[in-house]
Amino acid sequence: MVPLSWYIVLSAIVFSIGMFGFLVRRNLIIIFLSIELMLNAVNISLVAFSHYLQSINGQILVFFVITVAAAEAAIGLAILIAFYRNKPTVEADEINLLKG
């Protein structure tokens, strides 16, 4: 039997790795991938709680998180394309069009 805390620790580690990628990467596409990674880490912990507490609510919440993640990825990538038309780069530190 695998204890609940193992799943939570696994989820925390994956979340931290996603946080690291979000903080330090220059490529905006990989920053979006890091956000997806963090959302998935939270999903793992929600499903683990749902299983160990024998409640279905965690799985419903994961369903909604996946919905929001899909919407977020669509909007984010659309903004990326719209920006690329103004300045052809996807590097986070070169996006400075509003700087005086």
Partner 1 sequence: MSVPQFFFGYFAVMLIGLSIMVVTRKNPVHSVILMLVLFVHIAGVYLFLNAEFLAAIQIIIYAGAILVMFLFVIMLLDLKKEVTERRFLKPWPLGLVVAGTFMVFITAVLGKLTVFPEPGKYSIDRIQAEGMMMTIGKVLYTEYLLPFEIASLILLVAIIGAIVLAKKRLE
| Residues in 58-97 that interact with partner 1 by CB under 8 A | 59-60, 62-64, 66-75, 77-82, 84-85, 88-93
Separation between Cα atoms, residue 66 and residue 56, nearest integer Å: 16
Q: Which of 1, 86, 97, 99 binds partner 1 (CB under 8 A)?
A: 1
Q: How far is the CB of 64 from partner 1 (least distance, A)?
A: 6
Shortest Å, Cβ 85 to partner 1: 8
Q: How far is the CB of 68 from partner 1 (least distance, A)?
A: 6
Shortest distance (Å) from residue 100 CB to partner 1: 21
- Distance between CA atoms of residues 55 and 49, nearest Å: 8
Closest CA to 33 of 21, 42, 44: 21
Q: Which is nearer to partner 1, 56 or 96 (CB)?
A: 56
Question: Which one, of 60, 51, 39, 64, lies nearest residue 6 by Cα?
Answer: 51
CA pair distance 20, 88, nearest whole angstrom: 25
Does 42 contact partner 1 by CB under 8 A? no
